[in-house]
């Protein structure tokens, strides 16, 4: 820099001040435009994960929709009802055709560990009775299933069954009372006879006289629902 330089001549200083002000104004305008045109990152809303509680159904062919489309079975219909009447609840059908209480007991621990259900519905025993298996053994199996379910934190609904009188009074009465005794011992909910609303209607059953038709699955659900509804709060 020349030490003798004392700045621009006085005659052009007003023009330089105007130019400097214009440049600064331009920078300010550009900064403002940049701020306005820069996309704003919207903060993602914080969402609380939806908690879904599970109803686990451990049953036999009566709950496995034997002989009819699975979507028309009472358990599938229950899933639809839960969506409307008890949001946040779902149903898992772990029923197996031909299942006995012994088979259900053997499969239950894995289901409890895998699903962590809030409610367990036990619909078993019909195949024990039709095979003439000892009532005491059936009762012990049911007792263990309820005990394990309760220990896992689940509430329990037992769907009871009845046997035809040709098996003898001692057997049929002992069979029916087994469900009540297990429910009473563990303070579990009990529906004494799952097939009660259709049992006397021959048209309600398929050709085998054992399995309800698709047309009456809604009636079975309506029968179960009052006992299940208090458990899915």
Rounded distance between C-alpha atoms, residue 155 and residue 184, angstroms = 14
Strand-pairing partners, residue 57, are: 93, 121
Rounded distance between C-alpha atoms, residue 100 and residue 177, angstroms = 18
φ/ψ region of 209 (left if φ > 0, alpha if ψ in -120 to 50, else beta) reads: left
Residue in 60, 61, 149, 152 annotated catalytic: 61
Q: Is 152 in the active site?
A: no
Q: Is 61 in the active site?
A: yes
- DSSP-derived 3-state class of residue 135: helix
Residue in 76, 97, 143, 211 annotated catalytic: 211
Q: Is 149 in the active site?
A: no
CB 70 within 8 A of CB 96: no
| Whole-angstrom Cα Rg for the chain | 36
Which residues are catalytic, by number? 61, 208, 211
């Amino acid at each position: 820099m020349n030490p003798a330089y004392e700045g621009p001549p006085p005659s052009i200083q007003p023009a330089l001040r105007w130019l400097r002000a214009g440049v600064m104004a331009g920078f300010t305008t550009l900064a403002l435009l940049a701020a306005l045109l820069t996309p704003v990152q919207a903060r993602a809303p914080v969402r609380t994960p939806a908690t879904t509680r599970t109803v686990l159904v451990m049953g036999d062919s009566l709950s496995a929709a034997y002989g009819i489309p699975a979507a028309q079975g009472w358990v599938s219909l229950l899933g639809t009802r839960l969506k409307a009447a008890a949001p946040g609840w779902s149903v898992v059908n772990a029923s197996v055709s031909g299942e006995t209480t012994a088979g259900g007991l053997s499969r239950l621990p894995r289901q409890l560990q895998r699903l962590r259900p809030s409610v367990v519905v036990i619909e078993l025993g019909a195949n024990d009775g039709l095979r003439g298996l000892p009532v005491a053994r059936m009762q012990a199996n049911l007792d263990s299933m309820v005990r394990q379910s309760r220990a896992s934190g689940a509430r329990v609904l037992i769907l009871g069954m009845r046997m035809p009188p040709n098996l003898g009074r001692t057997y049929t009465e002992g069979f029916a009372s087994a469900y009540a005794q297990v429910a009473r011992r563990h303070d579990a909910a009990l529906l004494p006879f799952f097939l009660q609303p259709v049992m006397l209607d021959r048209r309600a059953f398929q050709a085998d006289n054992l399995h309800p038709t698709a047309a009456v699955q809604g009636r079975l659900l309506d029968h179960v629902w009052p006992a299940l509804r208090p458990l899915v709060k």
